[in-house]
Structure 1
Amino acid sequence: MFERVLVANRGEIAVRVMRACEELGIDTVAVYSEADKHAGHVRYADEAYNVGPARAADSYLDGAAIVEAARKADADAIHPGYGFLAENADFAARVQDTAGITWVGPTSDAMGTLGEKTRARNVMDEADVPIVPGTTDPVEDPEEVVAFGEEHGYPVAIKAEGGGGGRGMKIVESADDAAEKLTSAKREGEAYFDNDSVYLERYLQSPRHIEVQILADHHGNVRHLGERDCSLQRRHQKVIEEGPSPAIDDEMRESLGEAARRGVAAADYTNAGTVEFLVVDEEFYFLEVNTRIQVEHTVTEQITGIDIVKWQLRVAAGEELAFEQDDVSVAGHAMEFRINAENAADEFAPQTGTLATYDPPGGIGVRVDDALRQGDTVGGDYDSMIAKLIVEGSDREECLARSRRALAEFDIEGLVTIVPFHRLMLDDDRFCAGEHTTDYLDEHLDEDRIADAQQRWGTEPTGETDAEEAVEREFTVEVNGKRFEVTLEDRGGLAVPTDSGDADDAPGPRRDSGGDDGGGGSDHDGAGEAVTADMQGTILGVNVAEGEDVASGDVLAVLEAMKMENDVVAPRGGTIAEVGVAEGDSVDMGETLFVIE
């Protein structure tokens, strides 16, 4: 077994992996960005190394920096968690090629085969796993999208090769949408997965989203651990997951499990993975393989008693799976609730703030995976997840009842979360009956009910306050004869004068507006209407120029916030009098982006 594992991630999944390591007697190493210097996963680890600035591309996605940190720490393995570099075959190859360091995951070859969607479709088709009609070659021209739609019918799904969780997927409703949606899908693929290659699929409407957890070792053993139902989604992002699925019978359950085993075995796959399917009219179709641990792996752990993360480490260390397929049994029912910093009543807009109160629930059948603690701040640099609440019961009814109790106990103040939305779902007839499909939230749920739930059970943000000035002081110390350079922050003390004299500069994201006024977010002096940022994020693209006429609803820019693309639209028609941002700019909530006259 390994002696020291570097976890190439952050937040709750980093702590989850570290806890598994601790139980196996393995020391842990954290990596962190400048924005995460005080983060929970850094506090938990035995050692921690700074790998770059807040921007993920310069830190958590910097494979060279992460491997170098592993070398410095003398780590003998790297676990990627989920997200960031977890499904990056090139990074896996980099680790595999580094002497003395083991990659905790499938081989880079297997990741390349199943991580790229078109190659995965070919493998599954050859393994006699049903697939959705689609293309196998990358799509570059909007006319290809139009031709596919004419042949198979609309809507058409454009999907990024390296995508997952709805990122890099755009739905084309008609030929008129083809060019815009193709550009957007390619842009997301490049931004999130460093791969702008996309393909097409017939978009199945109102399906169930069912996924099968698998484990495979280096000795030819492949096991499935049952299925999870992830059909409750908004904008293709999972919100509540459960297992087993209330929508399939034992015959389909067995067929899904065996199909997943066949598919991953054909790809010579090892370690943990998830095979995802869409179920429509009692038929199932292969969707994709996630070549990593899933956010919702906890559901399977609760109903099978199998610690998936520990088995990831054991398999990577060369151990053989210690159980046969017939030994895997499912007992009871479990649900996972993603406790995100989002306002469900405002189209699930990401929120930022400080956890003035953070008091998770407890009691029988309740598990909370988190990394944050009371007093911690949730910024806009990364994913909006605060915690995961996992609840189990002897059956689905008890699980629902226990979940109602646990969510009512979850006390979070100072930050708007989607806890009220979860409580609404546990009072929703369609969800409680297990009859929901993937389009339920986006197309069928009355939005007024979400607003009512937020008003009834929601909390308010703490509000903006002037940040204490932080003065960094450097010291040189020795511990057991080893020299360390230590930087300490002094808050609330005497300020250290600076040459610039800007005493009231508060910590926060800085940007170059690209304009002559030195800051595109300042108040404008004109008589026009300001279009401001609804959230903190990064401008992915600007679609208009000064002097251009726009109509109400026109997309002025695309703002990326917490891994989601958001359109900035014109609130009314008029002429663009001012453009205050450029592609690549970081913006704060409330910052002026455009002025329309």
Structure 2
Amino acid sequence: MFNTILVANRGEIACRVMRTAQRMGIRAVAVYSEADARSMHVAMADDARLLGPAPARDSYLRIDAIIAAAIASGAEAIHPGYGFLSENAEFAQACDAAGIVFIGPPPASIRAMGSKSAAKALMERAGVPLVSGYHGADQAPAVLQREADRIGYPLLIKASAGGGGKGMKVVESAAAFQGCLDLAKGEARSAFGDDHVLLERYLTQPRHIEIQVFADTHGNVVHLFERDCSIQRRHQKVLEEAPAPGMDAARRDAMGRAACDAARAIDYVGAGTVEFIAEGDAFHFMEMNTRLQVEHPVTEAITGQDLVEWQLRVAAGQPLPLAQEDLRIRGHAIEVRLYAEDPAREFAPSTGRVEHLRLPAGDGIRVDTGIRQGDAVSIHYDPMIAKIIAYAPDRDAALARLSRALTGTEIAGPATNLALLRGIAAQAEFRAGGVDTGFIGRHADTLLAPPGPASREVLAAAVVEWLEGHDAVADTADPHSPWGAVSAWRMNGDGYQDIHLADGETTQVVRAHLHPHRWRLDLPGGNAEIDTLAHEDGSRTVWLDGRAFKALVLRRQDRLTVYADGSSHTVYAVDPLAMGGVVEAAAGRVLAPMPGKVLEVLVTPGQVVTRGAVLMMLEAMKVQMRITAPADGTVTAISCQAGDLVEDGAELVLLD
């Protein structure tokens, strides 16, 4: 076994790999960019080496720097994690040339499956069923348009060189094809350095089911059963579970044998995932990921195996720990991905400092993360904050544990998909096992609905926190003077204080009357006597309307985020005399929907544009977005140029 390995990745996967390595007595070396110098994976490592500046191309994608770091640190092997260079045959070959073991498949296997087009051709020759499409080498736009028309609409454009939803677009009509093709090729070039695409018939209600395979250098190949990854947004997975709901033994055996045959066909070694798309009684090969997957913890939960340990043992030349007949499914596991993104804005990535973070714990709950409270979610990398995995003897019990875990999860700072995850876990169709790739879109009215108005509980907790924090002395020259107290004190009559709380597009005014040791609040729906008890963890028990509930209020200047009853709600304390300055952006101001990099500006000052015209292209976290005109008008000003980094909400274009 190795004495030292280097993990050529970052975030939660680097932490995950190092955790197993260190448990096995192996020294773990991390690499990092300048942006990640104080990150969790660096702190966890036995040794850490700087690669370069924040952009991945200058750090985590630099093969020469990673090999040099491995040699300097004495690492005998490199674990690539997933993403970045994990499926890069040149990287695997460079490791071999440097005398370093690549903890993954041989370069030839990576190349065989690295091109989705070539992989499909290989599977077609092997008799594995495929979805009808075009996987050819001729990428001329006219050829692709002709093939798209032959396949029919809707169809799917997919980047041949990668995954994770990058370079993937659904095309609804022939007229929309060229625009979607340009977007898909642009994202593919940015994410993978290769804009080759393939076309496939788009299945309307498919399930995404993948098989975990493992092979060693002694000729052994096994599968560790399936995962259902059908709950997706933007063609990227949000929730995964194992085993797949409704999977029978015959289908499991057939898919497992097909996956193992695919691995044997390319002389595979190590961990891999064969992905299938299933609709009705049929299943079709999609692709093979020649690496460990984000969702591997659900497989570990139901098999009781550590897949990273298997990877290390296979890379060290040892045989697989178990044969196929020794593997059993025990229980059910569900994983959700907590992302820094805004579901209300088409899942645009969100960045910023994580001001508050509470992740769940308890029986049957596992959390994989590379983020701590106080860390920043950067524009340069994937926006995943944590994976939350619930395991139990059956699916219903796993769902119950997952729901409780999500209820106990708290985060403030960047926007997240936490409310969406809670909604999915509570949705009746999902709880009944009804899953397919269109699930989120089908239930968008409820899952993506904007939050309702703040409840009485939220308003009460926010007002108490605001009042407690403002019960201070304004006149430091005479701290004992009642005239200098910032409170509701009155010399005669009932003292009160009006608190104005901005809640979305409305403002709630709560009048607070100070009574001995408690407040009386004039809340929407009637007055209430409020009593509270502060706890050491910063939370409070609040007595309201004959019930007691626990609330944590995180305050950042005038922003008050209330965590209560398993959800969170943010309100803002506003000065009524200054509220005239709080206005919505004018319709003519085109603002950045997310922080990102301006790729291309397509208009000039003075140009007349129509509603929906593309003004510029913006990219963040390898996702490209067309910024369009909100109305007919004339471009009067452009506030950025190609190459600029812009913040969320920054003005890009001004239209008259």
Name the TM tier (shorter chain): 0.7 to 0.9
Q: How does 1:469-484 map to 2 (within 5 A)?
A: none
In the other structure, the counterpart of 2:30 is: 30
- Report if the CA contact (8 A) 1:215-1:223 is conserved: yes
What is the Cα deviation at residue 449 of structure 1? Answer: 5.2
In the other structure, the counterpart of 1:516 is: none
In the other structure, the counterpart of 2:139 is: 140
C-alpha distance in 1 between matches for 2:175 and 2:333: 43
Distance 1:449 1:51, change over 3 A: closer
In the other structure, the counterpart of 1:393 is: 392
C-alpha distance in 2 between matches for 1:382 and 1:50: 16
What is the Cα deviation at residue 581 of structure 1? Answer: 2.7
Q: How does 1:307-318 map to 2 (within 5 A)?
A: 307-318=306-317
C-alpha distance in 2 between matches for 1:31 and 1:171: 37
Amino acid of the structure 2 residue aligned with 1:38: R
In the other structure, the counterpart of 1:120 is: 119
* SS of corresponding position for 2:293: coil
What is the Cα deviation at residue 546 of structure 1? Answer: 2.8
- Report if the CA contact (8 A) 1:421-1:453 is conserved: no
C-alpha distance in 2 between matches for 1:166 and 1:374: 28
Amino acid of the structure 2 residue aligned with 1:119: A
Amino acid of the structure 1 residue aligned with 2:377: V
Q: How does 1:151-190 map to 2 (within 5 A)?
A: 151-190=150-189
Q: How does 1:484-495 map to 2 (within 5 A)?
A: none
Q: Say yes or no: does 1:562 pair with 2:621.
A: yes
- Report if the CA contact (8 A) 2:302-2:332 is conserved: yes
C-alpha distance in 1 between matches for 2:351 and 2:45: 25
Distance 1:345 1:389, change over 3 A: same
Bigger CA drift: 356-365 or 108-117?
356-365
Deviations 1:456-475 (A, max 9, x none): 8999997799xxxxxxxxxx
Distance 1:455 1:190, change over 3 A: farther
Bigger CA drift: 537-546 or 126-135?
537-546
Amino acid of the structure 1 residue aligned with 2:193: D
C-alpha distance in 2 between matches for 1:461 and 1:61: 38
Amino acid of the structure 2 residue aligned with 1:333: H
If you compute each CA radius of gyration, which structure gives the higher value, 1 or 2?
2
* SS of corresponding position for 2:450: helix
In the other structure, the counterpart of 1:47 is: 47
In the other structure, the counterpart of 1:284 is: 283
- Report if the CA contact (8 A) 1:355-1:376 is conserved: yes
Amino acid of the structure 1 residue aligned with 2:359: P
What is the Cα deviation at residue 102 of structure 1? Answer: 0.8
- Report if the CA contact (8 A) 2:345-2:593 is conserved: no
Deviations 1:127-154 (A, max 9, x none): 2211111223234223223322332211
What is the Cα deviation at residue 454 of structure 1? Answer: 11
- Report if the CA contact (8 A) 2:598-2:616 is conserved: yes
In the other structure, the counterpart of 2:636 is: 577
Distance 1:453 1:391, change over 3 A: farther
Q: Say yes or no: does 1:87 pair with 2:87.
A: yes
Identity of aligned residues (%): 47
* SS of corresponding position for 1:162: coil
Bigger CA drift: 254-263 or 243-252?
243-252
Q: Say yes or no: does 1:592 pair with 2:651.
A: yes
* SS of corresponding position for 1:163: coil
Deviations 1:113-169 (A, max 9, x none): 012101111221222211111223234223223322332211222211112121111
C-alpha distance in 1 between matches for 2:629 and 2:645: 20
What is the Cα deviation at residue 447 of structure 1? Answer: 5.1
* SS of corresponding position for 1:417: coil
In the other structure, the counterpart of 2:343 is: 344
- Report if the CA contact (8 A) 1:421-1:454 is conserved: no
In the other structure, the counterpart of 1:428 is: 427
In the other structure, the counterpart of 2:602 is: 543
C-alpha distance in 1 between matches for 2:341 and 2:369: 16
* SS of corresponding position for 1:71: helix
Deviations 1:63-114 (A, max 9, x none): 1111111122121111111111111112221112112x11111111100001
- Report if the CA contact (8 A) 2:190-2:622 is conserved: no
- Report if the CA contact (8 A) 2:148-2:199 is conserved: no
What is the Cα deviation at residue 246 of structure 1? Answer: 0.6
Q: How does 1:323-338 map to 2 (within 5 A)?
A: 323-338=322-337
What is the Cα deviation at residue 593 of structure 1? Answer: 1.6
Count of residues in correspondence between the two structures: 535
Deviations 1:159-184 (A, max 9, x none): 11112121111222222122222222
In the other structure, the counterpart of 1:517 is: none
Bigger CA drift: 221-230 or 584-593?
584-593
- Report if the CA contact (8 A) 2:211-2:273 is conserved: yes
- Report if the CA contact (8 A) 1:533-1:588 is conserved: yes
In the other structure, the counterpart of 2:495 is: none
* SS of corresponding position for 1:130: coil
C-alpha distance in 2 between matches for 1:429 and 1:132: 31
* SS of corresponding position for 1:167: coil
Amino acid of the structure 2 residue aligned with 1:65: A
* SS of corresponding position for 2:161: strand
* SS of corresponding position for 2:135: coil
Q: Bigger relative contact order, structure 1 or 2, given CA contacts below 8 A and separation 6+?
A: 1
- Report if the CA contact (8 A) 2:343-2:448 is conserved: no
- Report if the CA contact (8 A) 2:587-2:630 is conserved: no
* SS of corresponding position for 1:581: coil
Distance 1:442 1:560, change over 3 A: farther
Bigger CA drift: 449-458 or 60-69?
449-458
In the other structure, the counterpart of 1:97 is: 97
Distance 1:404 1:443, change over 3 A: closer
- Report if the CA contact (8 A) 2:605-2:636 is conserved: yes
Bigger CA drift: 442-451 or 37-46?
442-451
Amino acid of the structure 1 residue aligned with 2:402: S
Distance 1:380 1:464, change over 3 A: farther
Q: Say yes or no: does 1:19 pair with 2:78.
A: no
Deviations 1:253-300 (A, max 9, x none): 111111000011101111101000000121000011111110000110
C-alpha RMSD of the superposition: 2.2
Distance 1:569 1:344, change over 3 A: same
In the other structure, the counterpart of 2:497 is: none
Amino acid of the structure 2 residue aligned with 1:63: I
In the other structure, the counterpart of 2:197 is: 198
In the other structure, the counterpart of 2:248 is: 249
C-alpha distance in 2 between matches for 1:134 and 1:592: 42
What is the Cα deviation at residue 374 of structure 1? Answer: 1.9
C-alpha distance in 1 between matches for 2:383 and 2:88: 22
Amino acid of the structure 2 residue aligned with 1:103: F
- Report if the CA contact (8 A) 1:345-1:447 is conserved: no
Distance 1:449 1:72, change over 3 A: closer
- Report if the CA contact (8 A) 2:420-2:447 is conserved: no
- Report if the CA contact (8 A) 2:270-2:311 is conserved: yes
Distance 1:462 1:6, change over 3 A: farther
Amino acid of the structure 1 residue aligned with 2:611: S
C-alpha distance in 2 between matches for 1:138 and 1:396: 44
In the other structure, the counterpart of 2:59 is: 59
What is the Cα deviation at residue 224 of structure 1? Answer: 0.4
- Report if the CA contact (8 A) 1:139-1:197 is conserved: no
In the other structure, the counterpart of 1:531 is: 590
C-alpha distance in 1 between matches for 2:452 and 2:436: 21
* SS of corresponding position for 1:426: helix
* SS of corresponding position for 2:284: strand
C-alpha distance in 2 between matches for 1:275 and 1:248: 16
C-alpha distance in 2 between matches for 1:232 and 1:430: 12
Structure 1, unaligned runs of 5 or more? 466-526
TM-score scaled by length of structure 2: 0.78
* SS of corresponding position for 1:424: helix
Bigger CA drift: 248-257 or 449-458?
449-458
Q: How does 1:497-516 map to 2 (within 5 A)?
A: none
Bigger CA drift: 13-22 or 153-162?
153-162
